[in-house]
Structure 1
């Protein structure tokens, strides 16, 4: 049996907040002390963060029987299922805590505040002096589950690193022909194959540069050009490949294989209506919204499946923009203004689908001519 003492502190409620954790065994020997500042949060949010952090740490240890002690009646009763959770933010945190609790034989116990003084002191120490952890056997650094910027909102989901690679050149790319997801399926050209190999060599360097986890999977559009790009990357890391039809390029319908300059001359009104619109579609083609919805659905599943890890996505121009739009949460102009070069690499860290850090967009240094 071990005892997890958890507490939160918020100066302003909401205001600058932090959590504190104090974990001991039955004899009172300290297993771990930790604290982390959370930015602006309420006291209840900080208390939930303490429980989540303590349980996350304990999942990396053999300890599975524990008592969680808190001086927060609200958190104890809500996690025990006796009180309803009306606040949507607390409900999300409670869901995360309950998911972690499934791995333990745990008892929740309310204690007077004076008996929780060590966890309280750890929370205030984190506010005053910065984050800390005395858990020598912990493999998960506090910073690894938080955005790198102190100005970013604090997160409670373990992040997923997503590396997006646009496929290399094809003969259609080189001829400036419209090439989408429902037309011909060209292979990489000689230049495109070289770009795919260069991306495969560059990805480990970027992973090391940004101190991110190494890729665990390569998910790709089933089209030939993206499959060949994915194969080059997978071979570099000795990884499995997973095809996902939702990552195909947007369907250009009747515009497939048309010269872009000629298309703008012959169908200027249609092209002008399509550009900048999320709902207009080429004749017999696909709208940006239709493409975005399927790409975001796939992205959400990848994020959920590879929390704490890294997935490489080999895809096309418009799906690459859709993923960037999910990360940036900016205006619709992202779908038209963001350049994604053949062989270009973008690196993100997603905390669920709602928040992301962007490490680099359309990184192309590896594509420079020597």
Structure 2
């Protein structure tokens, strides 16, 4: 019989790290603490972190078997909780496929909240994991006596650790909400067809920088400071004229610190009356790590497994790079700061393709599939309005009419 909500307590460990390893997971009724399902298994030789991820995966699979819609996932592994919430990078390549598998399971629920708990409040899952480790080490099985649930109710996880309150179509649903900035969540703002006064909104004019040599060559271009090409400078001049026509009065022009953005931003600022350009570090492009400067085909050939994991989950980073979840967290901070600093005014934001996609994803209350389906041209313009109550109107996406003559 399906249940509305469950609590998962999960753990894993190894004796030797790596060594004989196992995991345990308990699914409870959140009101009574009754154990609904248990899962445990020996997994041979593995590390603690691998075993902990396997415990989480087993708990999520058990919750799905019960038909749960909402899950509170509690673990004493700080690493797994922080990585699943998108706050820590997943640097070890052996954990990335497991994180992607967990994220895909998360996408099957309406909401999942992750919370770290101390080990003494995770005794049942810990006991199951230890019994599994005994089995992995060839020791006689021990009986696991379920301890009573902790009388202390777990505090609700912060909203930033929730998934959207609806099923997601991508493999990494929690990352989207886990990376929202502070303030009202557009996904939870009451729907309305009622026209809103435009003058009360803060308008963000999102501009992707003009073309570079890397853009034309279809190379990963992240933190490398690749300048505008001749075509890119022409695009930036056309974009400046278009922005001036859209918004003759602009409160601020802000830019990523990289020269392809500052060069575009300066031309825009000049066209609208020499508004100063301010750089914001949080608006920089994703760090593509080892993939920087390489073509898409080269990355597919040399890192096929890592690329598949990256495409499957916004929590997975390229080797030595940064995940989209991490990018979204800092871009969310920058966006909220601008909304707070310029209420009811127009701000031009010159940045890169990844930050703009992430802003539009959240503004449209979309899931992560949008990141792979939305194409943004160099020097394209997108416009959105945001009201103080969190209401959002996306006015245009990837407007490139001003580039038609180039």
> TM-score scaled to structure 1, two decimals?
0.55
Contiguous gaps of at least 5 residues in structure 2: 1-190
Once residues 195 and 237 of structure 2 are traced to their aligned partners in structure 1, the CA distance between those partners, rounded to angstroms, is 37
Once residues 153 and 369 of structure 1 are traced to their aligned partners in structure 2, the CA distance between those partners, rounded to angstroms, is 35
Structure 1 residue 226 and structure 2 residue 266: aligned? no
Q: Tell me the SS of whatever aligns to 2:200.
A: coil
Structure 1 residue 205 and structure 2 residue 245: aligned? yes
8 A Cα contact 1:157 1:351, kept in partner: no
Structure 1 residue 189 and structure 2 residue 229: aligned? yes
Once residues 219 and 321 of structure 2 are traced to their aligned partners in structure 1, the CA distance between those partners, rounded to angstroms, is 16
Once residues 362 and 238 of structure 2 are traced to their aligned partners in structure 1, the CA distance between those partners, rounded to angstroms, is 26
1:357: which partner in 2? 393
Among 312, 315, 338, which residue is 2:374 paired with?
338
Deviation at 1:226, TM superposition (A): 0.4
Q: Deviations over 1:252-282 (max 9, x none)?
A: 0011111111211222221111114110110
Among 308, 315, 322, which residue is 2:351 paired with?
315
Among 296, 299, 304, which residue is 2:335 paired with?
299
CA spacing shift, 1:155–1:233, aligned 2, 3 Å:
closer
Structure 1 residue 163 and structure 2 residue 231: aligned? no
Runs (4+) off by over 2 Å:
152-158, 204-207, 352-355
Aligned length: 216
Deviation at 1:158, TM superposition (A): 3.2
8 A Cα contact 2:210 2:228, kept in partner: yes
Structure 1 residue 179 and structure 2 residue 215: aligned? no
Once residues 276 and 367 of structure 1 are traced to their aligned partners in structure 2, the CA distance between those partners, rounded to angstroms, is 33
Once residues 213 and 391 of structure 2 are traced to their aligned partners in structure 1, the CA distance between those partners, rounded to angstroms, is 37
Deviation at 1:152, TM superposition (A): 4.6
Q: Tell me the SS of whatever aligns to 1:291.
A: helix
1:328: which partner in 2? 364
Q: Tell me the SS of whatever aligns to 1:242.
A: strand
Q: Tell me the SS of whatever aligns to 1:163.
A: strand
Q: Tell me the SS of whatever aligns to 2:338.
A: helix
Contiguous gaps of at least 5 residues in structure 1: 1-148, 208-212
Q: Tell me the SS of whatever aligns to 1:164.
A: strand
Q: Tell me the SS of whatever aligns to 1:285.
A: coil
Q: Tell me the SS of whatever aligns to 2:358.
A: helix
Q: Tell me the SS of whatever aligns to 2:397.
A: strand
Deviation at 1:334, TM superposition (A): 2.0
Deviation at 1:205, TM superposition (A): 2.6
Once residues 158 and 300 of structure 1 are traced to their aligned partners in structure 2, the CA distance between those partners, rounded to angstroms, is 16
8 A Cα contact 2:201 2:343, kept in partner: yes
Deviation at 1:156, TM superposition (A): 12
Query: Superposition pairs for residues 83-232 of structure 1, below 5 Å?
Result: 151-152=193-194, 158-181=200-223, 184-207=224-247, 214-232=249-267
Q: Tell me the SS of whatever aligns to 1:199.
A: helix
> TM-score scaled to structure 2, two decimals?
0.50
Q: Tell me the SS of whatever aligns to 2:396.
A: strand
CA spacing shift, 1:268–1:341, aligned 2, 3 Å:
same
